[in-house]
Amino acid sequence: MEPITFPRDLVQAQHDWIRTYEALAQPHPRRLTALRRRLLHLSDYIWRHPFFRTFEGSAAAARVELRRQARSHEHGVRAA
């Protein structure tokens, strides 16, 4: 199976979602309401992204792959 090529903005949104979620998971996060709103906004943006309307295949599997690629990108960015 060939890897899925996601639009750059979608991968960036998932990457931002992960970072926002991690910030919320910290003990006593600062700007709690702003972080929650950001997470909701990013969730909506990712869920409604036009890529998933045109993707031929399992959208659920594509979402899992998106998260995997965003995490890989996260580790690549931190390692650099």
Q: What confidence score (pLDDT) does residue 78 get?
A: 47
- Helix 8-25 to helix 59-79 angle (10° resolution) is 70
| Mean pLDDT calculated for residue range 53-80 | 81
Kind plus residue range of the DSSP H or E element containing 44? helix 32-47
pLDDT band at 72 (very low <50, low <70, confident <90, very high): confident
At 43 the pLDDT is 97
Predicted confidence at residue 2, as pLDDT, reads: 73
- 1-55 tens-digit pLDDT: 578 899 999 999 999 999 999 999 999 988 999 999 999 999 999 999 999 999 9
Given the structure tokens 């969730």, which residue do they identify?
43
